[in-house]
Amino acid sequence: MSKPSLFGYLVEFEDVTTILNAAREVRDEGYTKWDTHTPFPIHGMDGAMGMKMSILPWLVFGGGFMGCTLAMLLQWWMNAYDYPYLVSGKPLWSIPAFIPVTFELTILFSAFGAFFGMLALNQLPELYHALFTSERFRRATSDRFFISIEAKDPRFDLEKTRAFLETLGGTAIETVEEDE
Amino acid sequence: MGIATASQVEPDPIRGEPLVQGGHDFASVTDAVCGVIEAKRPPLIWFISIAISSIMTLVLFAMIVYLFWTGIGVWGVNVPVGWGFAIVNFVFWVGIGHAGTLISAILFLFRQQWRTAINRFAEAMTIFAVICALVFPGIHVGRVWFAWWMFPIPYQQGVWPQFRSPLLWDVFAVGTYFMVSSIFWYMGMIPDLATIRDRATGTTRRFVYGLLSLGWRGSNRQWHRYERAYLLLAALATPLVLSVHSVVSFDFAVSQVPGWHTTILPPYFVAGAIFSGFAMVVFLAVPARQLYGLKSIITMRHIESMNKIMLATGSMVGYAYAIEFFMAWYSGNIYEQFTFQNRAFGEYWWAYWTMASCNVIVPQIYWFKKARRSLVVTMIVAFLINVGMWFERFVIVVTSLSRDFLPSSWGFYWPTWVDILTFAGTFGLFFTLFLLFLRFLPMVAMAELKNVMPAAHPVHHLSGEKEGH
């Protein structure tokens, strides 16, 4: 194991209002590599952090489009082209009969787009993260709220950032280290 | 401070009752839900229940082995009634599996916040019910070694499935429903699995839940996409849940058999599915909340809301029963008219009247608030509704097949002991899976529940800027 390097600062908050206001200040200071960690999504945090809308809906649309096209091609190729089924003299390619499967596969692939797209954009699974080394951070999934600022942030400064974070109304500040 | 005492809880704009009662704060919600999983050993009744349900599951497996070994003749199916218990049970279980996605998707889109305490629970029930349902088409095909012909798999004979058959639509509808429900359930659970991981004391527990929670760390950048994905999944699952039982009803409606060939079947099946699904949810929720001390999380308000939905859907089902008779008379079709007379007054009259009284008359008690808020009444009614809904499927499948167009091909169907034990066995499988779920996974969606608590909302905004959502 090599020697640990600094990941960044972690500040703990006790309630929603304080962290929401603190997040606005961090945003206004111009930090970019930072995040908030909360046990549930806080209404208004996206704006307070100055985040952009996710591209996820496009991935879902792509999934749905693919599912729809695939289903149509699959059924046409299997039932009307490669192995034509003649049933009661009806047309081989009669669209209404192929709608249910097309609908289902559209939904299925859109759902895959939503789930796997979310995981990919969130870079999950990520089983190791520097923040997991913090004992305090374990309450982030229960009843405490955190702001983390990474040392990689261009505005990060060991002294100044700490001084700034102390003004935010948090209840504790700690440094987090990671194994490189 | 992130603590809500009883006096601080803001009244819900529509109903006076708070969603979470008993002065819970965030930490105590976590404790209450995780406590169930972290307890050294589950309550004695859990052991007794799982002992019984596992034995029943073994009975199910034994019956399936016996069926495979001997052949479909061990069942009561015959000509003309080729669809006996297997299809009745399939439709019954798929129907039960509808409440979960309805609660998690449709009520989510309608912003019915009371769903948060029960959605996890109901989604789990959905998945287990669909597993029980999927057993039947698989073992019903007769030559089980050809069951894979249901899927479009290339093989040397070059024959593909017939996509114009409703039976194949069913494969895709139920398969999609199972996968999408599982994704929805699992995705909703990721933050809560992370909670259990972070509270874990032993290494095994930390490792397993750590793996399952995929390294979730509650980051708002993650939450943003997570909430987006959840909303989109809800929007996708809403038409899906309505489509699944519609497609199941096409198995009947697309055929020519009198009593099946009607356009009312899809909405009628969907209403019935939601009806039976909610009955099963309360039937499981009431004992679970009593047993695990979650009365302040799954409150009387939740029970009452579900009972109201049962009243509404039960009445819709009753309306459908009446319309079926009206249409049979109005159509002037003698076969259709005979079918409905036969349903109510023929050989299976007892099945018809069990269905009608359990599904239409019994839920009318929920017009009374006292009944909606009584746990005893709730349990009895939920049980009777499930009985009634099973008989509904029995009536549809058996009466129509046993009396079709030609009197020379009329018949009679009666289940064998194998049929009955197989059906009983699926309850064993269902309850075994459910009991394991109660023991190892968070039965209440903690993150979502915290989000509807008053302390989750900021007291005031310091800056008057426009907020992102």
Strands (E), B75-159: none
| Structural contact between residues A160 and A166, judged by C-beta atoms closer than 8 angstroms | no
Q: Which of B462, B228, B198 is nearest to A19 (CA)?
A: B462
User: Is B458–A108 a contact, with Cβ atoms under 8 angstroms apart?
Assistant: no
3-state secondary structure at position B464: coil
Please tell me which of the candidates B30, B169, B222 has its beta carbon nearest to residue A142: B30
Distance, CA of A138 to CA of B417 (rounded, Å): 54
| Structural contact between residues A44 and A20, judged by C-beta atoms closer than 8 angstroms | yes
Residue of B nearest to A170 (CA): B1
Strand-pairing partners, residue A147, are A11, A36
Q: What amino acid is encoded at B141 in this protein? A: V
* Interchain contact A28–B (C-beta under 8 A): no
Q: Which residues contact B169 (CB under 8 A, 6 or more apart)?
A: A100, A101, A104, B247, B250
User: Is B226–A37 a contact, with Cβ atoms under 8 angstroms apart?
Assistant: no
Q: For residue A160, give how far its alpha carbon lies from the nearest alpha carbon of chain B (Å).
A: 24
Residue A4: pLDDT band (50, 70, 90) is low
Write down the residue that tokens 């009312």 correspond to. Answer: B264
Strands A34-37 and A145-150 come out as antiparallel
For residue A51, the chain B residues in CB contact (below 8 A) are 220-221, 224, 468
Structural domains for chain A: 5-52+132-178 (3.30.70), 56-121 (no CATH)
- CATH fold of B26-452 reads Formate dehydrogenase/DMSO reductase fold (1.20.1630)
* ipTM for this model: 0.92
Please tell me which of the candidates A16, A82, A100 has its beta carbon nearest to residue B457: A16
pTM for the model: 0.90
For residue B191, the chain A residues in CB contact (below 8 A) are 39-40, 141
User: Is A78–B460 a contact, with Cβ atoms under 8 angstroms apart?
Assistant: no
CA angle A119, A121, A123 (to 5 degrees): 65
A87 Rama class: left (phi>0) / alpha (psi -120 to 50) / beta: beta
User: Is B163–A17 a contact, with Cβ atoms under 8 angstroms apart?
Assistant: no
> What is the number of other CB atoms lying within 10 angstroms of the CB of residue B143?
9
User: Is B220–A35 a contact, with Cβ atoms under 8 angstroms apart?
Assistant: yes
| Phi then psi dihedrals of residue B34, to 5 deg | -70, -30
* Interchain contact A17–B (C-beta under 8 A): yes
Q: For residue A71, give how far its alpha carbon lies from the nearest alpha carbon of chain B (Å).
A: 11
Express each pLDDT in A58-115 by its tens digit. 999 999 999 999 999 999 999 999 988 888 888 888 889 999 999 999 999 999 999 9
User: Is B229–A36 a contact, with Cβ atoms under 8 angstroms apart?
Assistant: no
Tokens describing residue A30: 């111009």
Q: Which of B260, B407, B253 is nearest to B336 (CA)?
A: B260
Tokens describing residue B192: 């809560």
* Interchain contact B446–A (C-beta under 8 A): yes
Distance, CA of B156 to CA of B158 (rounded, Å): 5
pLDDT in single tens digits along all 469 residues of chain B: 344 444 444 444 455 567 777 677 888 888 888 888 888 888 899 999 999 999 999 999 999 999 999 999 999 999 899 898 999 999 999 999 888 888 788 888 888 878 888 888 889 999 999 999 999 988 988 888 888 888 888 888 888 998 988 989 999 999 999 999 999 999 999 999 999 998 888 889 889 999 999 989 889 999 999 999 999 999 998 899 889 999 999 999 998 898 899 999 999 999 999 999 999 999 998 988 888 878 888 888 889 989 999 999 999 999 999 999 999 999 999 999 999 999 999 999 999 999 999 999 999 999 999 999 999 999 999 999 999 999 999 999 999 999 988 899 899 999 999 999 999 999 999 999 999 999 999 988 888 888 888 877 777 544 444 444 4
Q: For residue B230, give how far its alpha carbon lies from the nearest alpha carbon of chain A (Å).
A: 8
Please tell me which of the candidates B164, B217, B456 has its beta carbon nearest to residue A16: B456
| Structural contact between residues B389 and B16, judged by C-beta atoms closer than 8 angstroms | no
Q: Which of residues 112-151 of A touch B (CB under 8 A)?
A: 112, 114-115, 117-119, 121-122, 124-129, 131-132, 137-143, 145
Distance, CA of B408 to CA of A52 (rounded, Å): 71
The long-range contacts involving A125-130, CB below 8 angstroms and separated by at least 24 positions, are A125/B214, A125/B215, A126/B214, A126/B215, A127/B210, A127/B211, A127/B214, A127/B215, A128/B215, A129/B215, A129/B217, A130/A7, A130/A8, A130/A176, A130/A177, A130/A178
CB pairs under 8 A between A and B: 232
For residue A79, the chain B residues in CB contact (below 8 A) are 160, 162-164
Q: What amino acid is encoded at B147 in this protein? A: A
Residue of B nearest to A33 (CA): B221
Strands A5-13 and A172-178 come out as antiparallel
For residue B240, the chain A residues in CB contact (below 8 A) are 104, 107
Q: For residue A40, give how far its alpha carbon lies from the nearest alpha carbon of chain B (Å).
A: 5
Distance, CA of B148 to CA of B135 (rounded, Å): 14
Q: For residue A157, give how far its alpha carbon lies from the nearest alpha carbon of chain B (Å).
A: 22
**pLDDT at residue B143 in the model:** 86
